[in-house]
Structure 1
Amino acid sequence: MGNGRGEVSVPVGVRVPVLVAVLVGIETVVLLVVALLGDRTTRAVTVALDGRAPAVLARVDLDVAMVVVLALVAVARALPARRAWVLDPLLTTPITLFVIAQLNGVRDVGALVGIYALASAGVLFAVVQDRSAPQTTPSAGSRLPLGFGSAVGIVPWGIVAFHQVGAGVVGHPLPGIAVVVTLTALVAAIAEFVATWRGRHGAASVLRTVGMSVVAWLVVLGL
């Protein structure tokens, strides 16, 4: 739309997501530099077959994983909402839960794949909710898909909680930073869910972006 001087004005609704994408992109670059200059934090992914001792399949660099998550968030913010979900949250949520599970001592490849799959399934239910909700009043439609998604998505957090409790029971409590990262991510996820349940998708997006940023920095700086 013109402004009377031959210039084309960009709607605020378009400028804000682009600005957020740029800011998160800059943050991602800074986080990558910090991660590369600091000590690398890796965790093993293991497999145990036929009663043998667990063998290491691979090692995951948790710092780089969270940099990738933040980069995906930045790209997603620059895309239309109908396409952005393929990156965030469909990829970012499972990766983040994978990292949190590793921080809490989950090493078995079967458990990690299960956590990733359940997190992805929970996100897909939320996407169905978003697609089926009325565009004018999103909170007026059925919340059944979102309810199913929350029921599925809570399972990975339960696995993480069992590992936290189990570590304390056997006398090997987890480092404090692992607990802080886990609780921070959980609080952010709950806040985002509440905003989504109430149909406040803008607030949910802000909470998600801030939550992912805080978790990423905690992982890179705290480990």
Structure 2
Amino acid sequence: MARKNYTTDQKISRLRVYNIVAGSLHLVQALGFAYVLTLLSTQVTFPVTADYLSGPPGVPLPPERVTLFDVNVGIGVVSFLALSAVFHFLISSPKFFPRYAAGLRADRNYFRWVEYSLSSSIMIWLIAQITGITDIAALFSIFAANAAMIMFGALQEKYETPGNGKFLPFIFGSMVGVVPWIVILIYFIGPGSTSEAEPPAFVYGIIISLFLFFNTFAVNQVLQYRQIGGWRDYLRGERAYITLSLVAKTALAWQVFSGAIIPALT
């Protein structure tokens, strides 16, 4: 059976439907997890701390550790799911869909990068806290580095065209984007630690699966800009971005809830 060929306008119309489907799936999960949170008598939270000097600089005194605030991990999960749902519905709306469609015809989607800069940065913040990172400076730096990586992805689309062989924004983004994962890996391995505590199994799953998912976004952009196979069509890459976003967010949400939230119900 011959594969049906669609015009560009038809493909963009199908992407509108796909965005609505993806937004609905994100929203259903966000509402479902929000309901689970209402069943908890005690919320699962991670502290955000700061270490202040307790003496002159260089004096070997333990710093004063202060808990600045707590992050509700469940609300964090609901927030990145809901944020994605909002953007999917936004670009499918009558007001913003023409702008979204025009961008796709020009091989760019700035809506995507704005959403990713927020949602994926929330995700990496939660992953960092799950591995034991509590320091506010480290967490905000991880958030900012991840957001900067996403913005370099946007610059790749703004200043380069698929097939021209230029990847400078992409390279800079990769250099920045690997930093949060290096920090997370250090805390996960715990070099120099004398503690015998081992991370729960779900933490291993989160780090491995989300690291792989985060990198598939980079692979997708490389395929687009190298014009490899079906990725010669920019819209093929756009559909892949939507799928990858849904799968990555779903994977993190369910792993966090099954590993950290659901046990709190018992």
Q: Which category of TM-score, normalised to the shorter sequence, fits these structures?
A: 0.7 to 0.9
Secondary structure of residue in 1 paired with 2:52: coil
Match of 1:22 among 14, 21, 24: 24
Task: Give the letter aligned to residue 159 of structure 2.
Answer: S
Alpha carbons 1:47, 1:56 under 8 Å: kept: yes
Q: 1:50 to 1:218 in 2, by over 3 A?
A: same
**Gaps spanning 5+ residues in structure 2: where?**
1-11, 55-62, 92-99, 101-108, 225-236, 261-266
Match of 2:71 in 1: 60
Alpha carbons 1:139, 1:198 under 8 Å: kept: no
Alpha carbons 2:113, 2:153 under 8 Å: kept: no
Match of 1:162 in 2: 186
Distance, in Å, in 1 between the alignment partners of 2:210 and 2:217 is: 10
Match of 1:13 among 15, 18, 23: 15
Task: Give the letter aligned to residue 124 of structure 2.
Answer: L
Distance, in Å, in 1 between the alignment partners of 2:220 and 2:112 is: 18
Match of 2:175 in 1: 151
1:55 is displaced (CA, Å) by 0.9
Kindly, what percent of the aligned residue pairs are identical? 25
Distance, in Å, in 1 between the alignment partners of 2:201 and 2:183 is: 18
Task: Give the letter aligned to residue 251 of structure 2.
Answer: V
Q: What pairs up with 1:1-223 in 2 under 5 angstroms?
A: 11-38=13-40, 40-51=43-54, 52-78=63-89, 79=91, 80=100, 81-86=109-114, 88-134=115-161, 138-166=162-190, 169-171=193-195, 172-199=197-224, 200-223=237-260
Secondary structure of residue in 2 paired with 1:40: coil
Q: In angstroms, what is the RMSD of aligned CA positions? A: 1.9
Task: Give the letter aligned to residue 85 of structure 1.
Answer: W
Alpha carbons 1:122, 1:153 under 8 Å: kept: yes
**Gaps spanning 5+ residues in structure 1: where?**
1-9
Alpha carbons 1:125, 1:149 under 8 Å: kept: yes
Alpha carbons 2:113, 2:151 under 8 Å: kept: no
Alpha carbons 1:69, 1:92 under 8 Å: kept: yes
TM-score by length of 1: 0.86
Secondary structure of residue in 2 paired with 1:106: coil
Alpha carbons 1:139, 1:197 under 8 Å: kept: no
Alpha carbons 2:22, 2:246 under 8 Å: kept: no
Distance, in Å, in 2 between the alignment partners of 1:35 and 1:198 is: 40
TM-score by length of 2: 0.73
The count of residues paired between Structure 1 and Structure 2 equals 210
Distance, in Å, in 2 between the alignment partners of 1:127 and 1:96 is: 19
Match of 1:3 in 2: none
Secondary structure of residue in 2 paired with 1:90: helix
1:150 is displaced (CA, Å) by 0.9
Larger radius of gyration: 2
Distance, in Å, in 2 between the alignment partners of 1:168 and 1:190 is: 29
Task: Give the letter aligned to residue 239 of structure 2.
Answer: G
Distance, in Å, in 2 between the alignment partners of 1:195 and 1:104 is: 28
